[in-house]
Structure 1
Amino acid sequence: MEAVQESLFDIAADRRNLGDGAWVELRTRWLPSAGSVFETLRDEVPWYGERRRMYDRIVDTPRLLKFYEAGAALPHPALAAARDRLSRDFWADLHEPLTSVGLCYYRDGDDSVAWHGDTIGRGATHDTVVAIVSLGATRPFLLRPRGGGASTRLSVGHGDLLVMGGSCQRTWEHAVPKQPGAGPRISLQFRPRGVR
């Protein structure tokens, strides 16, 4: 069983260096209108499922998705406001705006996402920023060095902002594990052009 470090964070907003140019930042209760945004997105987004090959069979991805490319109409004005604020707040790290918004709907504690890095496109070769706003149930967010090692467990709650930057997508992996009994959660992922 792999070792788990409970948290890198004391109470709220601070950035921690993970090594090899990677960093992570957590800001609690960052989105004050989180409740109404959650309800609108849950009820009005045209969610879809995906199927993926898992070993020798095709299975349903354990969450629902929706992706909004740069310039697409967003389903709630708070998403555009958040994207613009994040682009300003992290300009010094990225030197370009965040443009796309990906949404994941974890319907209950059986929905999850396995270990991965956002390495489709430029994230595989360049430092980047991926900013995640969490709405709904508090869920664990795990980070571990790519290739294995002790994982770090962060508790990300309703309205919290978690930002992964620098080389994090190339040198670290992240996951949201199953959590029996957990309520619904929506994750909003803000990324720059060419990162998935």
Structure 2
Amino acid sequence: MPEMVIRSDDPRCAELEGAGWTVVATSWGARLRVTPALLEGLGQVVAGAGQSGTRIRELTVSDADAVLRLDAATAADYPGGIATSHEPLDAAGARDLFTRGRVFGAEHDGVLVAITATEEVGALVETAFTAVDPSHRGQGLATAVKAASVLAHAADGAALFGTGGASVNTASLAMNRAVGYEITETWHTYRPPAESAE
């Protein structure tokens, strides 16, 4: 029997736990609503990154090879679990990001070191994934590229944004809160008793 992902406030959680299922991962979903004050703050975040010598910009399909290289360098860093897994990109997948949505990046000395990819799902702008080169973490670059994505979409009229991640990735959670996202839901990944005992 496969693992099941269920919202934490679903009554079935108690039923599964009573039947011996175990929680093997927890994830969260968050929303951001645009306000003038929020946009002003995000503009300062992007400007601050630029002052440190990093270039924050919207990428184009001509950057697909650089996106592919960065994705390969960070593919092993995503937490496991069916709710938050990230399928490594191939060349076609990297190009497809620009067909399906928009991609924003941070460059240091001309090298792409951080990206966030977004897609519009109805009125909601969803984050597909965000990645930072291991040697450039802890510099606020994920916050900066995500801030840039919100600013760009908001300039085109978007007002509601969504994102999510694994609870074990506390850095991602802190980054999204810094951008202005608020947690709206949590999800548990359950494994059935037979598999839990193996």
Pairwise TM-score range, normalised by the shorter structure:
under 0.3
Q: Which structure would you say has the larger RCO, counting Cα contacts within 8 Å and 6 or more residues apart?
A: 2
Normalized per residue, the structure richer in helix is 2
Larger radius of gyration: 2
TM-score normalised per structure 1: 0.27
TM-score normalised per structure 2: 0.26
